[in-house]
Homo-oligomer: A and B are copies of this chain.
Amino acid sequence: MKKIGVALLGLGNIGSGVMKVLQENGELIKCREGMEIEVKRILVRNLKKKRSVEVDPALLTDDFNQIINDGSIDIIAEFMGGEMPAFTYISEALKRGKSVITANKEVIAKHWDELEEEAKRSGAGLYFEASVAGGIPIIKPLRRSLQANRILTLMGIINGTTNFILTRMSEEGRTFEDVLSEAQRRGYAEPDPTADIEGYDARYKLSILSTLCFRNRVRVDNIYCEGIRGVAADDIKYAKELGFGIKLLAIAKKLNGKIEARVHPTFIPLSHPLYAVRDSYNAIFIKGDMVGDIMFYGRGAGDLPTASAIVSDIVTAGQNNGAHHSFRLEVEKPEIEDNWIDEYYMRLVVLDKPGVLAEIAGIFGRHNVSLDTVMQKQRDHDHATIIFITHEAREKWIHEALEEIKRSPAVISVESLIRVER
């Protein structure tokens, strides 16, 4: 029986999950894969801390050198989170020919190039299925099942916290602040929820996914990012009336050789499979030139789902005897499109008097923006709310039109601007 020596970096939530999977299903993996996974060392910050899983205290160390210099360790699995010192450890491990499994989206999004180079040089393997969408198999299917396709579009719900918040707002008619504070009380959202709410978490993951899809390096700063703080209960209500739901989508497309990548709240039709992705679930919807539409759905976070992906990567690395399956880029620096084409939903508050609508429609027209839907909603004293959905238009035309619209004395405020995908 093949034996694989593994060191774990981290024994928090995910590390404990990995221990639990190995303890409960280790025998099953042995029988299925003919491979015994043996945890040799576990790097922790605090040797004395009480742990939620049963672990032989002799395995614990707070010294990375004891791991990197241990010849019986073939694979290092990292889930400490954060850029440093995780990046240093991963890099060092690859240099020394140890294969690395990581759940660290930030390290992969920022340092994939360098790590890929290290892996190529030493021949060690680099695996990161758990860095995106937790337990959902997506990295391996993209690389090993969809390789005959040119990927055209990717749309993902890849942040569970924001999807939970938007689902509760939509199904219970509540406000963002209300649901956020409940989510925080119940531990579904961090005490500082910025990384989730503002879309930064999704942006790291989209950088990894879009680089994989298009085989072009899409860097974090290539990705437009807008969070869900501005999504009002009213927008969700009007969206439904128009046959849409609002989701925080991570979107990447390749059109005419240019890549666009963006994270923002998005209208999608109620009949779209992504709309049915509720609460903290994640899903990645992909359009390939041959396979057509395809979607992967599941738990995007959590100890055991994430551990499922990590242990799978450990098995794969063990089967490959550390051999690195190198990832070929098609173009090193792709052209990034920031003036993309979309449809747009807008909610304006205007003076309720004749001629206002004509004036606004005229401004849109002068900026090349044609309107698909116009609805006058509630009236309040001398104010009226107007909803627009445009036909396809360039991002810049919309912003230029809105600048001019804002200057009109008849316009009180532009309350919302939300992109529409179908």
Contact = CB atoms under 8 A, between A and B. Distances in A.
Interface of A: 17, 21, 24-25, 28-29, 31-34, 129, 135-137, 140-141, 144-150, 215, 271-273, 275-278, 281, 283, 288-299, 302, 304-305, 307-309, 311-312, 315-316, 328, 330
Contacts of A309: 145, 291
| Residue among A276, A293, A311 facing the most chain B CB atoms (10 A cut-off) | A276
A305 B32 CA distance: 30
Contact of A292 (B24, B129, B135, B147): B135
Given A135-B292, A148-B315, 11 more contacts: A21-B148, A25-B290, A32-B147, A137-B141, A140-B145, A145-B312, A276-B276, A288-B308, A292-B304, A293-B297, A293-B298
A144 B148 contact: no
A135 B25 contact: no
A309 B25 CA distance: 30
A149 B298 contact: no
23 contacts: A25-B150, A25-B289, A25-B290, A28-B150, A31-B330, A32-B328, A34-B328, A140-B145, A145-B312, A146-B308, A146-B312, A148-B308, A149-B308, A273-B273, A273-B281, A275-B276, A290-B305, A290-B311, A291-B308, A292-B304, A294-B298, A295-B296, A296-B297
A311 B289 CA distance: 14
A352 B244 CA distance: 44
A123 to B, nearest CB: 16
A28 to B, nearest CB: 6
- Number of copies of chain A assembled together: 2
Contacts of A289: 24-25
Nearest to A28: B150
A115 to B, nearest CB: 19
Contacts of A129: 145
Contact of A147 (B33, B135, B136, B299): B33
Contacts of A146: 137, 308, 312
Given A148-B315, A276-B273, A315-B147, A295 B298 contact: yes
B290 A273 contact: no
A144 B140 contact: yes
Nearest to A316: B144
A308 B290 CA distance: 6
A302 to B, nearest CB: 7
A76 to B, nearest CB: 18
A36 to B, nearest CB: 14
A311 B292 CA distance: 15
A121 to B, nearest CB: 18
Nearest to A140: B145
| Residue among A278, A302, A308 facing the most chain B CB atoms (10 A cut-off) | A308
Contacts of A292: 135, 298-299, 302, 304-305
A135 B308 CA distance: 24
A297 B28 CA distance: 27
Nearest to A26: B148
A29 B28 CA distance: 35
A316 B24 CA distance: 31
Nearest to A171: B271
A34 B328 CA distance: 9
Nearest to A325: B319
A33 B273 CA distance: 31
The 10 closest A-B pairs by CB, nearest first: A137-B145, A276-B276, A294-B298, A148-B311, A295-B297, A135-B291, A291-B308, A290-B308, A137-B141, A290-B304
A297 B150 CA distance: 18
Nearest to A296: B296
Nearest to A141: B137
A180 to B, nearest CB: 23
Nearest to A294: B298
